[in-house]
Amino acid sequence: MNVRLTLEYDGTDYRGWQIQPGGPTIQGILEDALAVLLKQRVRVQGSGRTDTGVHARGQVANFACPDGRDLTRIQRGLNALTPDDMTIRAVEAASPSFDARRDARRRVSTNTACGTTLGATGYLRHMVRNIVGTLVQIGLGERDAGGLPALIDSRDRTQAGPTAPRTGPVPGGGVLRIGIRGESVRRMASFDSASRSLS
């Protein structure tokens, strides 16, 4: 059975989503908890990767589960076995073809320090952090918001602001929200209107 998880977490103490050496990851915590519950290892596929220290709300993942398992018990068990900074909001049966990564239609990043929301089907490496760095310059009066269209049209990263830290200008600055195909996603502020609100 293909199972869909919806979760949220405070990413402060994690090295992002994907399993990697050097510290705990969201994927690693989930896979370890599921191994205890299911008495076998399973691979959890996330809808998107996050950087070190980034939080998520509404992130979706899926995994192959042996048939006949009680999904309510899996949710309770995961919430009991994972740290307090992680919550499994829903555990649901999904269609056999559902893939959290491939079916993600929109990833939304919010920088709480700047009040900025960016939405896309995917992000390039450091893309959101580069945009936030530019928006911080605008907010500080170091750059004119009217120059953003030309900056974007130039496609020259060297003309943008500095890359913002992983957690944003203040601790807890980043939140990732994932929209899955077939679900409604709330309307996001456009890049232009978000940048104008800072000046």
Catalytic residue numbers read 51
Ordered alpha helix ranges (H), the chain: 26-38, 71-81, 100-103, 127-139, 148-154, 191-196
d(CA 8, CA 57): 4
Distance of CA 148 to the CA centre of its chain: 25
d(CA 177, CA 198): 22
Instruction: Show contacts of 137-143: CB within 8 Å, 24+ apart.
Output: 137/161, 137/162, 138/195, 138/198, 138/199, 139/114, 139/198, 139/199, 141/199
| 73, two tokens | 């018990």
46 touches 107 (CB < 8 A): no
Per-residue DSSP letter, 8: E
Rounded Cα distance, 89 and 159, in Å:
41
Cβ-based neighbours of 127, under 8 Å, separated by 6 or more: 120
